[in-house]
Amino acid sequence: LSFESRLRRAIKADEFLLHYQPKVDLGNGQICGVEALIRWQDPERGLIAPGEFIPVLEECGLIGEVGEWALRRALIDQGRWRETNANAPKVAVNVSSLQLRKTDFAELVCSLSESFDLSNLELEVTESLLMEELESSVQTLRKIRDKGVTVAVDDFGTGYSSLAYIAKLPITALKIDRSFIMEMNIGPQGLAIVSAIIALAHSLNLKVIAEGVETEEQSRLLHLLRCDEAQGYLFSRPLPADEMAELLATKA
Ligand code: G
Ligand code: G
Ligand code: NA
Ligand code: MN
C-alpha cells in the first residue's frame, strides 16, 4: 500500500491523536498554555511524528480534513480539562499553510465558534506562510481574531519575514525557533539573536515564547532577557490528553 493510501486509511480508522506540551510562564512558573502536537498511531509502525506525514497530507489534499479534526479534538480536550480545572490553559493548534490559505478557513473557525468557546484558542502559523500570500492571510487572520482566536508566528527567525510586515499582521505572539535557543549559551551570536527577537516582540507589543528549552541555564537566561513564556523538555515532553489532565490537576 502506498504511503498516501495508508494515510487515507488512517483518517477513516481514526488513527491520529494529539499530544500536548505545556508552555510555562517564566515569571511565576505556572502552566499558561499547551501546544497540541499531532501524531499518527500506525498499527504497523507505532507512533509516527508529524514531520513524516504532514507534508504528505498537504501534497495529497488531505490536510484540510486532518487539520479540522485537530482543531475539534483540541477544543474537546480543553473543554474536559475545564471541567476539573477552572484555569484550563490556552490551547495552541498548528495550522498548515495550505489549510489557512483555503478560502473557507475563516468560515470553519466561525462555525466552530457556534459549538466551542474559542476565547482560549491560539493558532500557530509559520512565518513563511504568512509572507507568501500576505493580503489574503491578513484578511483571514482578522476574521479569526474577531472570534477571539489569537495567532502566534511559529519558528520565528527561520524564514524571511519583512519586519515591516510583521508589524502590520494581526498577531499576538512570536515563538523563537528551537535552533536559536540551542545556540543561545554556546556563544555571543546566539545570545544576540535571542535578545534581539525578544526586544523586537516587545516593541511591537507581542508576547514572546521560547521553544525547545532543555536546561535550567537556558530558562534562567530567558527570564533575565524578559522572555514571557517557554516550552521544552525541561518542563515536560508532549503528553497524551489524559496525562496532561493529571498534570493540570496537580497544579490546580
Ligand atoms: O511533535 P514534533 O516535534 O514532531 O512536531 C514537528 C512539527 O510538526 C512541528 O513543527 C509542528 O509545528 C508540526 N505539527 C505538529 N502538529 C501539527 C498539526 O496538527 N498540524 C500541522 N500542520 N503541523 C503540526
Ligand atoms: O515545529 P514546532 O516548533 O511546532 O515543533 C515542536 C517540536 O519540537 C515537537 O515535535 C516537539 O516534540 C519537539 N520538542 C518539544 N520540546 C523540545 C525540546 O525541548 N527539545 C527538542 N529537541 N525538541 C523539542
Ligand atoms: Na508549532
Ligand atoms: Mn516551532
CB under 5 Å of ion ligand 3: residues: 94, 124, 154
Residue nearest to atom 16 of ligand 2 (CA): 232
Tens digits of residue pLDDT in 132-158: 777 888 889 999 999 999 999 999 988
- Cα 1 to ligand 3 centroid, rounded to whole Å: 30
> What atom in ligand 1 is closest to the CA of residue 58?
22
The runs of H, that is alpha helices, within 116-212 are: 127-132, 134-145, 163-168, 178-184, 188-203
Q: Is 211 in the pocket of ligand 2 (CB under 6 A)?
A: yes
CATH class of 3-251: alpha beta
pTM, two decimal places: 0.95
100 in contact with ligand 1, CB cutoff 6 A: no
For residue 91, the CA-to-ligand 4 centroid distance in Å is 15
Per-residue pLDDT tens for 112-125?
999 999 999 999 99
In this predicted model, what pLDDT tens digit does every residue of 81-100 receive, in sequence order?
999 887 789 999 999 888 88
How many other C-beta atoms can be found within 10 angstroms of the C-beta atom of residue 233? 12
Q: Is the pLDDT of residue 129 over 80?
A: no
Residues 47-59: b if buried by 16+ CB within 10 A, e if exposed: ebebeebbeebbe
Q: For residue 72, what is its C-alpha cell?
A: 475539534
- Grid coordinates belonging to 207: 508576547
The distance from CA 174 to its chain's CA centroid, rounded to whole angstroms, is: 11
